[in-house]
């Protein structure tokens, strides 16, 4: 005999409220406290409540959305500071409020929930930048709807929105190979974040497809054990090109090469990733992969609002495509067309 499907009255009895209140909570309407809404949505999920076919999730207006960023990623001109500013503007345009909290290394190590969640001030959370696995899984289990932005995990109960990291790095590396480069290095700490790992794998795939050797002395870290950005240590023997996991690292590498009297791109070609930050007047224009930050932010916000409105669909990852941008930091080898 098939199990009886949970109804709104069943949920109301389990929570201790009325079926009308449950109906409003599931539809994203006002008329109850945030705590009661959260209890109803959790209970509906626990009881396996099935939303009516064709029903529309209606996100509430004027919500407080938390934005949590690990401290090591929030330098003034960092990519995540840039993403945060865009997030705030996008939330404001939708009539919501973005509340920033910086995750300290101590709280991350001790698995302390952010104040935004502990105090109930955030009705949903966007976790921007990858903390430790133990910490982001702790966040996913806290009960507040959460979206991981720019990283993902296959086991966490959370949605994720990322850029097309593997394909972007594959495109950049393949471009260098088509231009005659055969000795190509990669700069980035592959185990530091999932994004860097995917970018390394994109580079590795391009080298493998073209039967080119990957020399370990040309695979260079750019993060310290705590995940902080550091200047890579270049080897004495250099490849003809470096694929860097981000533009900030690419610019550090170009400066190092200049200090050694190595010209970019005449002697060594260099590519970045992100298309941020923009270079100065004296910087070589960087070939890179432009991440679609607006698309990532819009999708992350939309997914979070749907979760806050009670969407019970399976968790998943959405990959947002970007595009390569070829500028002046790389050139073809002699005998190959530009």
pLDDT digits (tens, 9 = 90+) for 246-260: 999 999 999 999 999
Phi-psi region of 14 (alpha: psi -120 to 50; beta: other; left: phi over 0): alpha
The answer to whether 286 and 247 are in contact (CB under 8 A) is: yes
Distance CA 259, CA 128 (A): 35
Domains 1-56 and 64-163+293-322 share a fold: no
Could you say which architecture CATH assigns to the domain 1-56? Orthogonal Bundle (1.10)
Pairing between strand 323-325 and 288-290?
Answer: antiparallel
Dump the DSSP string for 125-159.
EEEES---HHHHHHHHTSSS-EEEES---SSSSSE
Distance CA 325, CA 273 (A): 10
Q: Is 71 helix (H, G, I), strand (E, B) or coil?
A: helix
User: Would you tell me which CATH number, out of the four given (3.40.50.150, 1.10.760.10, 2.40.50.140, 3.40.50.2300), belongs to the domain 165-291?
Assistant: 3.40.50.2300
pLDDT digits (tens, 9 = 90+) for 173-224: 999 999 999 999 999 999 999 999 999 999 999 999 999 999 999 999 999 9
pLDDT of residue 1: 43
Q: Is 54 helix (H, G, I), strand (E, B) or coil?
A: coil
pLDDT of residue 52: 63
The answer to whether 227 and 207 are in contact (CB under 8 A) is: no
CATH of domain 64-163+293-322: 3.40.50.2300
Ranges under pLDDT 70 in the chain = 1-3, 27-30, 34, 51-60, 338
- The answer to whether the bond into 323 is cis (omega within 30° of 0) is no
Secondary structure percentages of the chain, helix, strand, coil, to 5: 40, 15, 45
Find the largest Cα–Cα distance for the chain: 79
| Domain range list for the chain | 1-56, 64-163+293-322, 165-291
pLDDT of residue 54: 46
- Helix extents (H) in the chain: 8-15, 19-27, 34-46, 79-93, 105-109, 115-118, 133-140, 165-178, 194-209, 247-259, 293-308
With the C-alpha atoms ordered 254, 258, 264, 268, is the resulting torsion angle positive or negative? negative
Distance CA 46, CA 307 (A): 15
The radius of gyration computed from the CA coordinates of the chain, to the nearest angstrom, equals 23
pLDDT of residue 36: 81
């Amino acid at each position: 005999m098939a199990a009886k499907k949970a109804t709104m009255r069943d949920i109301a009895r389990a929570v201790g409220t009325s079926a009308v209140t449950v109906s409003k909570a599931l539809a994203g309407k006002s008329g109850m406290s945030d705590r009661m809404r959260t209890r109803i949505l959790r209970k509906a999920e626990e009881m396996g409540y099935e939303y009516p076919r064709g029903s529309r999730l209606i996100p509430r207006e004027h919500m407080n959305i938390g934005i949590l960023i690990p401290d090591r990623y929030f330098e003034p001109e960092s990519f995540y500071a840039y993403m945060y500013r865009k997030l705030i503007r996008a939330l404001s345009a939708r009539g919501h409020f973005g509340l920033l909290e910086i995750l300290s290394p101590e709280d991350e190590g001790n698995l302390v929930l952010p104040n935004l969640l502990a105090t109930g001030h955030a009705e949903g959370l966007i976790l921007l930048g990858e903390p430790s696995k133990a910490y982001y899984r702790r966040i996913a289990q806290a009960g507040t709807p959460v979206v991981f932005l720019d990283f993902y995990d296959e086991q966490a109960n959370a949605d994720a929105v990322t850029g097309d990291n593997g394909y972007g790095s594959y495109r950049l590396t393949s471009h260098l190979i088509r231009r005659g480069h055969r000795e190509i290095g990669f700069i980035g700490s592959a185990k530091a974040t999932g994004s860097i790992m995917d970018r390394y794998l994109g580079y590795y795939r391009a080298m493998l497809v073209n039967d080119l050797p990957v020399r370990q002395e040309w695979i260079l870290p750019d993060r310290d054990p705590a995940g902080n950005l550091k200047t890579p240590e270049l080897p004495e023997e250099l490849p003809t090109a470096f694929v860097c996991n981000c533009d900030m690292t690419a610019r550090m590498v170009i400066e190092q090469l200049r200090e050694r009297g190595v010209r970019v791109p005449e002697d060594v070609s260099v590519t970045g990733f992100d298309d941020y930050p923009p270079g100065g007047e004296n910087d070589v224009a960087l070939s890179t992969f432009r991440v679609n930050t607006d698309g990532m932010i819009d999708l992350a916000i939309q997914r979070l609002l749907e979760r806050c409105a009670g969407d019970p669909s399976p968790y998943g990852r959405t990959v947002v495509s970007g595009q390569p941008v070829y500028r002046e930091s790389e050139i073809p080898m002699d005998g190959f067309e530009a």
